[in-house]
Amino acid sequence: MESKLMKNKNKLKVGLAQISPIWLNKKKTLKKVKSYIKEAANKKCKLIVFGEGLLPGYPFWLSITDGARFESKIQKEIHAHYIQASICIEEGDLDGICSLAKSKRIAIYLGIIERAKNRGGHSLYCSLVYINTKGKIKSVHRKLRPTYEERLTWSPGDGNGLSVHSLKPFSVGGLNCWENWMPLPRAALYAQGENLHVAVWPGSKRNTEDITRYIAKESRSFVISVSSLMHIKDFPENMPHIDAILKASPIVLADGGSCIARPNGEWLLEPQTRKEQLFVETLDFNEVLEERQNFDPSGHYSRPDVTQLIINKKRQSILKVKK
């Protein structure tokens, strides 16, 4: 019979922060994120996850203000505002979050809009940042393929951040939104030993309720989906062209849908909607081992002599400096 110590080693308490941003306000959203990290730590969580692009917010204006209109002064001015509100890791925008992760000994997956220095500092990337319990940024995964209108404001990323990380007994990896529908990036994480998959979303149960259980069944892993919230009241008054945005906006833009599926595909936490709160659940690693008995996609149920996957983890940049 397993000892109590061994059972505790197999457990991981996680927090799903289903919240709205202080939209396009970097300073205030950072403050809100920190408050939820502290709450999760106080509840003994060892991992907290935030939604896609939460810091400083998802580009909701694109689909409601004719975002594809070329040379539109409205779109240019909103985009410029978005760039200035976005996160530059090299300039220390996440230093406070890292310090908090270290002091609270909690790992963090945080969705950000990244203003990347190594790509000139003016284009934006939808990035998923993993910070470990020592406060170190261990990966910055830039979304490989922005979806539909997202391509009007976000740039395509690369494979540099397609990594998994050790967290107690688990190996955790993550993808942004519709990347979770891409078979090969999923397979790249599975092959690195992933058994806790994090999927982050801008918000909506319609996105999370099918794919979360599907990935769990395919990978025989725990799958955490975390979505943000957004209500028409969350748009700030000082936003450029706010009148045009409010005129075309639905009342609810993102209703959440955060959830957790077990390795057998059953719900541990069913999709939660329209609730701004920290959802806390405990994962049992033994469930992963049990489900790998009959199916392991990168182990006994793979045929590397027939099919193999190549991953390019090189960070892409237009500039190579030779000294």
52 is catalytic: yes
Q: Identify the active-site residue in 32, 45, 46, 52.
A: 52
From 319, 314, 317, select the one nearest 160 (Cα to Cα). Answer: 314
- Of the candidates 26, 46, 104, 143, the residue annotated as catalytic is 143
**For residue 166, what is the enclosing H or E element?**
strand 165-167
- Give the integer Cα–Cα distance in Å for 240 and 65: 12
Q: Based on the residue annotation, tell me whether 143 is a catalytic residue of this protein.
A: yes
Q: Report the C-alpha gap between 73 and 217 in whole angstroms.
A: 47
- Catalytic residue, chosen from 45, 126, 177, 259, is 177
- Report the C-alpha gap between 24 and 15 in whole angstroms: 24
For residue 64, how many other CB atoms are within 10 A of its CB?
Answer: 16
Q: In the annotation, is 126 catalytic?
A: no
Angle at 68 between CA 67 and CA 74, to 5 degrees: 45
With contact defined as beta carbons under 8 Å apart, do 131 and 165 qualify?
Answer: no
Which residue, 119, 124, 129, is CA-closest to 30?
129
Catalytic residues: 52, 143, 177
